[in-house]
Structure formats: structure tokens, C-alpha cells
Amino acid sequence: MEENNFEETKKTVLIVDDEKPIIDVLMYNMIHEPFNLIEAYDGEMAIDMALKYKPDIMLLDVMLPKIDGLTVCKRIKSMMNIPIIMISAKGEEVDKIVGLEIGADDYITKPFSVREVVARIKANLRKAEISDTYKEQAPVERKREEEHDKIITIGEIYINLDKFEVKVRNKPIDLTLREFEVLKYLALQPGQVITRETLLEKVWGYEYYGDIRTVDVTIRRIREKIEIDTSSPKILITKRGIGYYLSSKEK
């Protein structure tokens, strides 16, 4: 699709995969979705297309010729703040962990359904819009909101919902928007065990499709930032076989 054919009311999705049949299937099935669709078939082309068209979100395969998908993700994230959904034919957790740690917002493993892809694209776009809305507020409007902060204090955790701020043991913690939303959801129900499926649906914003490792990886990243000893967490607790909860006990 050429840029002069774009509809301004639609979000632009850049689909990157070296397998043309996969892109063709996605493009064909997503033609009636509220998206402008563009495609790329290797890492170099993906970066060029991203810089040229400034997409609102990228669907990015891990295994790409010329420049691999993980490197593309890292470079794009250093140049523009857009959601990136990684795609891989591999199911190894290490791929997912690496992808999320270099900045990917979500992860899909092949084979996948178009319905799942569309749901995740829409969910990540909604999250990005929430973040952008807050960042683009005029200083006066932001100050007015800050006068009515919503504060949650649970044990050693302090969360300011309006300012997107988290402190643990009085130390500011730098969380991504997704990490913040997970912690917030747990904090609103202290002591209550929340299943991985519920977190996936409520925080990521799409129905559960069977891959809960995205939740586990995000939980692990949060623990690395808030726990003194991640091997023996005292704040973000695992209920084996069920899910996670926030402890309200002071440590």
C-alpha cells in the first residue's frame, strides 16, 4: 500500500516476515480491519519501511534475512516509540525472554490464527494510546490531575495511579507501561490470587489463547525491579499452579 492511499482515520500496521504466503494471508484477512497495511520481507526493508511510513505498530518475525528480528526490534525502539509484536516459529522461552527484554511489547508463536493477531494488535494499540494520552497532556492539565492523585499503598509498595509512579521501600521503580498495568491490577486486589489467564485477558486486553508465558516473563521482569531476592520473593508471590498475588505484609 502506498502512503497516498492511507486513510488518516486508520492505524498503520507494518507486517514483517520473510515468508510471503504468511504476509499474504494476513493482508487478505485483515483487509476489512481498521488498519492501513504495509509489508516488509527482511530486516533492512523493515527498518526502511518503519522510518518512511512511521507505522503505529509492527508485527515482526524473529527469523529474518539480512538483519534478524531481534536486532530490528532493538533499533526501531531506539528510534521510535511504537508497540512491537514479535512472531516466531520457535516455542523456546529463551526467544520470548530475549524479545521482551530488548523492548518487544508482545509475542506470538507460529502457528497462529488471524483472529489472535488482530486481537493482539488492537490491544497493544489501546495500551499505546493510553500512554501517549498521558504523556501529551498539557502541564496545566497534568498538574490539575496530580491534585487528585489516586494512591495505593500495599506493604512496601507505593503506587500513584495518575502519575504512573511506583516506589518500593521509598525507591522509585522504572516500569514499562505493561509492567505497571500488571502491578496495578494485582495491587487493586491485594492478597487475592489472580490467574495467569485473567492477567492475560485483563491487562493485555485479548482473550486467552493458551500462551501464558508472556505473563510469566513480565512477572519475572517486575520481580527483578522490586524484590531484594528474586529467588525468594516477598512482595509478588506465586501461588503454584494458579497465579500471582501481592503480599500486603511489611518486610
- 44 and 157 in a common domain: no
Residues 130 and 170 both lie in one domain:
no
What is the reported pLDDT for 208? 47
What is the pLDDT averaged over residues 87-98? 68
Asked if residue 121 and residue 45 are part of one domain, the reply reads: yes
Q: Which residue has the higher pLDDT, 213 or 90?
A: 213
Residue 71 is assigned to a structural domain of this protein = yes
Percent of the chain, pLDDT > 90? 43
Q: By residue range, what is the domain housing residue 154? A: 139-246
Whether 63 and 39 have beta carbons less than 8 Å apart is answered as no
Mean pLDDT of the region 35-59: 95
Question: Where do runs of H (alpha helix) occur along the chain?
Answer: 20-29, 43-53, 69-79, 93-101, 114-135, 139-146, 177-187, 196-204, 213-226
Q: Quickly state the pLDDT bin for 214 (edges 50, 70, 90).
A: confident
Could you tell me the CATH number of the domain that includes residue 59?
A: 3.40.50.2300
Percent of the chain with pLDDT over 70: 83
By the 8 A CB rule, do 60 and 74 touch? no
pLDDT, the chain, mean:
83
Question: pLDDT tens digits for 124-167?
Answer: 888 777 655 545 544 544 454 444 458 889 888 999 987 889 99
CA 7, CA 34: separation in Å to the nearest integer? 9
Could you tell me if 162 and 212 lie in one domain?
yes
Which of 117, 134, 151 is at the close of a domain? 134
User: Does the pLDDT at position 94 exceed 90?
Assistant: no
pLDDT for the residue 212 = 75
Number of helices and strands in the chain (H, E): 9, 12
What CATH number does residue 168 fall under? 1.10.10.10
Question: Do you find a cis peptide bond into 139, omega within 30 degrees of 0?
Answer: no
Q: Is the pLDDT of residue 243 over 70?
A: yes
Taking the C-alpha atoms of residue 33 and residue 68, their distance in angstroms, rounded to an integer, is 28
Question: Lowest-pLDDT range, 29-33, 46-50, 138-142, 157-161?
Answer: 138-142
162 and 214 fall within a common domain: yes
Predicted pLDDT at 112: 87
Residue 60 sits at φ, ψ, to 5 deg, of -125, 120
Query: Which of 90, 112, 134 is the last residue in one of the domains?
Result: 134
Instruction: Look at residues 89, 117, 134 and tell me which one is the last residue of a structural domain.
Output: 134
How many domains in the chain? Answer: 2
- Mean pLDDT calculated for residue range 17-37: 92
Both 64 and 149 in one domain: the answer is no
At 168 the three-state DSSP class reads: strand
- What's the DSSP call for residue 4? G
Instruction: With respect to residue 251, please indicate whether it lies within any of the assigned structural domains.
Output: no
Q: Decide if 239 is inside a domain.
A: yes
Cα(207)–Cα(200) distance, integer angstroms: 7
Same domain flag for 10 and 112: yes
1-31 as b/e: b if 16+ CB within 10 A: eeeeeeeeeebbbbbbbbeeebbeebbeebe
pLDDT band at 52 (very low <50, low <70, confident <90, very high): very high
Give the mean pLDDT of 40-58: 95
